[in-house]
A and B are shown apart, each in its own frame.
Chain A
């Protein structure tokens, strides 16, 4: 059963503030990732309070970094069902978890943050981890 769209809308909007594109269908997801060039951060959003509650602000903080991905997209686990499955199909070696974060470079996953590496951490810690990955993989 999907969530009430009204309930999760604020969780989507939190990511919209940093320019994340909401990929609500598999078609939108495939179009968004079809380029296979540059760096793309993909966020699997979740209603989970103990992980997504720090993952979303961690992501938004990380986007203050001078070096950051070329674009950001998001799917909502349990809501954007087909889009989430399509995204997970792009990293089949990583078991499903939500929230989670994947950084793609030229179509390949170069950094992955599973749910258990978000739980119990402060937003700043999530941000620091992402910024380190941006510095390693994004920019020139």
Chain B
């Protein structure tokens, strides 16, 4: 179910989990998703330090209650992005 902002990608307006090639995970409302970058609004960031349990606990809590905004707007170059997943699909 998309929106009428056809130029911003299918994920525009959707809350996504962005796993990076490092140890940080971002969760936020996708504004722009294009081959060069993904831009999130009202985003949280969490550094799991390669601890899979910490990462799972963080995602589980975010799925259940949501997440606290740390960045009003943040752009992530796609070369640093490992995966993009809808938060709601983790349940």
Contacts and interface: CB of A to CB of B under 8 A. Distances in A.
Contact of B88 (A53, A96, A112, A117): A117
B67 A50 contact: no
B86 A114 contact: no
A93 B67 CA distance: 10
Interface residues of B, number: 18
Contacts of B79: none
Given A94-B65, A95-B66, A95-B68, A49 B88 contact: no
B15 A49 contact: no
26 contacts: A49-B13, A50-B2, A50-B12, A50-B13, A53-B1, A54-B1, A93-B65, A94-B65, A95-B66, A95-B67, A95-B68, A96-B66, A96-B69, A97-B66, A112-B65, A115-B15, A115-B66, A116-B15, A116-B88, A117-B88, A117-B91, A119-B1, A119-B15, A119-B86, A120-B88, A121-B88
Interface of A: 48-51, 53-54, 93-97, 100, 112, 114-122
Nearest 3 Cβ contacts at the A-B interface: A116-B15, A50-B13, A95-B66
